[in-house]
Amino acid sequence: MGEEEASKGEDTVEEIRRMSGYGGDVIAVGGFPTSDSESDSDLAAAEIMIIWAIQGPTSFAPNTLVSQSSLELRLDACGHSLSILQSPCSLNTPGVTGSVMWDSGVVLGKFLEHSVDSKDLSLEGKKIVELGSGCGLVGCIAALLGGDVVLTDLPDRLRLLKKNIDTNLQSGNTRGSAVVQELVWGDDPDPDLIEPLPDYVLGSDVIYSEEAVHHLIQTLVQLCGDQTTIFLSGELRNDAVLEYFLESALKDFAIGRVEQTQWHPDYRSRRVVLYVLEKKSKRCLADVSSLNQSC
Ligand SMILES: C[S@@+](CC[C@H](N)C(=O)[O-])C[C@H]1O[C@@H](n2cnc3c(N)ncnc32)[C@H](O)[C@@H]1O
């Protein structure tokens, strides 16, 4: 990640950067440490204060881009009219969250499409692993954009996921490919997921409980090489869980926040945040010129 420009406000010190797998600007989480003693925990706490101050998420209604009570979500993406089947009744089953769509999934899917259209991202021929795919919208869009996508989730979530892939991606209408595979966070990934390591890892609304954070980060570390870029979108519903995630993830990853101005203009939400993560070891390697070549 290479520094491009820095802006200093009265109360916050922001650092605008580029990541190597995404051509748009991101705001470095934590900004410039103002002293050597600033820990990952200070940086995570500062990020939470900034986001809650800028976006005021709790003043806005959740789930405005989806209807979780309907059996189908229809969405136009990549020149296709997608039909994503949902199972609203399953939401009443404790622990089941992926049976319906969440705003952050729509935001991430449409962000990928918009970024490819804006030439800030290329997914053509790229190996992509999606975590906690749920109903599969994000993975479907990534495959339509040319990625070779493995959509993953818990074993009991795979049936609906497969149905949605079969409904929306027929050979002939898809530039890339999509397969569904079980992946439980914290378990060793199947060799085909990590040999070779993916170019991109995607996840929407996968940061939602403190218990899951440790295993989620373990899986991100296992899937992430020097050439891997991670996009995570999240619902701003619980500041403590997000802060815990950021603090833990900052040990291994450089993290940038993508501002809403870079999202798809019709799919923005003050209750959603979008991060790009890359392994810390490459932090100093990328510069703007190499970025222009890779994107
Ligand atoms: C809130 S849902 C989000 C679903 C989808 N990404 C979206 O945005 O609509 C969280 C997803 O993570 C999956 N998940 C939760 N814990 C998991 C774990 N330990 N291992 C793998 N997947 C998990 C759930 O099954 C669910 O599909």
The whole model's pTM is what? Answer: 0.90
The whole-number average pLDDT for the span 4-30 is: 72
Whose Cα sits closest to atom 5 in ligand 1? 134
Query: Over the stretch 69-83, which tens digit does the pLDDT of each residue have?
Result: 889 999 999 999 999
184 in ligand 1 pocket by Cβ < 6 Å?
A: yes
CATH number of domain containing 6: 3.40.50.150
Query: Above 80 in pLDDT, residue 181?
Result: yes
Domain that holds residue 289: 2-294
Q: How many domains does the chain have?
A: 1
One-letter-per-residue 3-state SS of the chain: CEEEEEEECCCCEEEEEEECCEEEEEEECCCCCCCCCCCHHHHHHHHHHHHHHHHCHHHCCCCCCCCCCCCEEEEEECCEEEEEECCHHHHHCCCCCCCCCCHHHHHHHHHHHHHHHCCCCCCCCCEEEEECCCCCHHHHHHHHCCCEEEEEECHHHHHHHHHHHHHHCCCCCCCCEEEEEECCCCCCCCHHHHCCCCCEEEEECCCCCHHHHHHHHHHHHHHCCCCCEEEEEEECCCHHHHHHHHHHHCCCEEEEECCHHHCCCCCCCCCEEEEEEEEHHHCCCCCHHHHHHHC
Pocket test residue of 99, 135, 153, 235 for ligand 1, highest count of atoms within 8 A of CB:
153
The whole-number average pLDDT for the span 256-273 is: 96
Query: Over the stretch 126-146, which tens digit does the pLDDT of each residue have?
Result: 999 999 999 999 999 999 999
